[in-house]
């Protein structure tokens, strides 16, 4: 059995894009070449890797080898970056994953900094929910990620942001004009929670306030959560960086007691970070830890 880097690259592109045509465009190849490369890989492995009827999706074997193929391609890319770094060059593409609020409120500023400090490096953004980022990082889907409150903190990391959580309510809510809101004051409203992000912090806020954690609705997408608040279905808690995602008619009100999250830029834990990820870490401005009162 042998598999070439080119074949693995074709396989991961076909699965990621759900079809041969889009994968061909992404790879700069003809659709016929993509089809032949994948077929050659399947012959080498002795079994089909994707189902070709209807929407293209991996077989059981394809799904099993996909993370290994992604990790192998990430290592090949890292080898190229090590060579470039050895020659005094910082050039290439770094894939950085982050949750929606970070993509909206923090990542554009970081990308401007990186563009100024590392003009030869292109940052490609992958937006995902909190629970998706670590698996993406370790399987090689992305090269770096901005994680929320990782425990324990990764060995090589930079805290690139900190922001507090706020209650999000409609502008016509009775508590909308208050200076701050407690979670206890919100218990009369249905609590909406996004399972893709911020649920652990919402649970912690309820615990800090001594009120039961009893969400009325669980949704996955932050956009769905915001739409439901706008429709008057309930209230929720959202970090400050999500302010730019709120439509007219919704307001943020500070919570008391407050809870702050740390946004940590890091590379993978299970393999060495690439030189370009190291360069991003060195160029990223670190946000200091808050000074304890008193």
Question: Residue 143 — φ and ψ, nearest 5°?
Answer: -95, -25
Which DSSP letter does residue 45 get?
Answer: H
In DSSP notation, 63-81 reads HHHHHHHHHHHHHHHHHHH
Q: What is the sign, positive or negative, of the torsion defined by CA atoms of 100, 129, 256, 106?
A: negative
What pLDDT score does 86 carry?
56
For residue 291, the model assigns a pLDDT of: 59
Contacts of 85 (CB under 8 A, 6+ apart): 275, 276
In this prediction, the residues of the chain whose per-residue pLDDT falls under 50 are none
Please give the pLDDT value at position 84.
66
Which residue, 230, 222, 232, 231, is CA-closest to 247?
Answer: 230
Q: How far is CA 82 from the centre of its chain?
A: 25
Pairing of strands 121-127, 92-98: parallel
Strand partners, 57: 51
Domains, the chain, ordered by start: 1-89 (1.10.10.10), 161-260 (3.40.190.290)
Note the helical H segments in the chain.
5-17, 20-27, 31-45, 60-86, 100-105, 107-117, 130-139, 199-209, 222-230, 275-283
> How many other C-beta atoms can be found within 10 angstroms of the C-beta atom of residue 155?
9
119: phi then psi, degrees, rounded to nearest 5: -65, -20
Q: Rounded distance, CA 10 to CA 41, Å?
A: 9
The pLDDT of residue 85? 62
In this structure, what token pair is assigned to residue 275? 């030189």
Residues with Cβ within 8 Å of residue 77, at least 6 apart in sequence = 92, 143, 274
Neighbours of 202 (CB within 10 A): 22
Q: Which of 159, 189, 194 is nearest to 253 (CA)?
A: 189
Reported residue count of the chain is: 294
């Amino acid at each position: 059995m042998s598999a070439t880097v080119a074949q693995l690259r074709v396989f991961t592109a076909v699965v990621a894009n759900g079809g041969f045509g889009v994968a061909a465009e992404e790879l700069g190849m003809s659709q016929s070449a993509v089809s032949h490369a994948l077929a050659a890989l399947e012959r080498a492995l002795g079994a089909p890797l994707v189902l070709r009827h209807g929407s293209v999706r991996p077989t059981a074997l394809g799904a099993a080898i996909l993370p290994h193929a992604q990790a192998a391609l990430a290592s090949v890319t890292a080898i190229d970056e090590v060579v470039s770094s050895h020659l005094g060059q910082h050039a290439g593409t770094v894939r950085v994953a982050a949750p929606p609020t970070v993509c909206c409120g923090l990542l554009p500023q970081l990308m401007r900094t990186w563009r100024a400090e590392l003009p030869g490096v292109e940052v490609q953004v992958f937006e995902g929910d909190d629970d998706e980022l670590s698996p993406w990082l370790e399987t090689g889907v992305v090269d770096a990620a901005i994680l929320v409150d990782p425990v324990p903190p990764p060995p090589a990391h930079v805290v690139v942001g900190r922001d507090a959580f706020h209650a999000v309510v409609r502008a016509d809510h009775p508590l909308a004009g208050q200076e701050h809101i407690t979670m206890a004051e919100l218990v009369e409203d249905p609590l909406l929670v996004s399972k893709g992000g911020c649920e652990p912090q919402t649970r912690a806020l309820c615990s800090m306030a001594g009120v039961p954690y009893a969400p009325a609705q669980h949704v996955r997408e932050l956009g769905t959560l915001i739409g439901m608040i706008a429709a008057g279905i309930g209230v929720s808690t959202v970090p400050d960086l999500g302010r730019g995602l709120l439509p007219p008619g919704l307001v943020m009100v500070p919570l008391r007691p407050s809870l702050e999250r740390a946004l940590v830029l890091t590379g993978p834990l299970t393999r060495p970070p690439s030189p370009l990820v190291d360069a991003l870490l060195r160029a990223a401005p670190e946000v200091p830890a808050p000074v304890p009162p008193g």
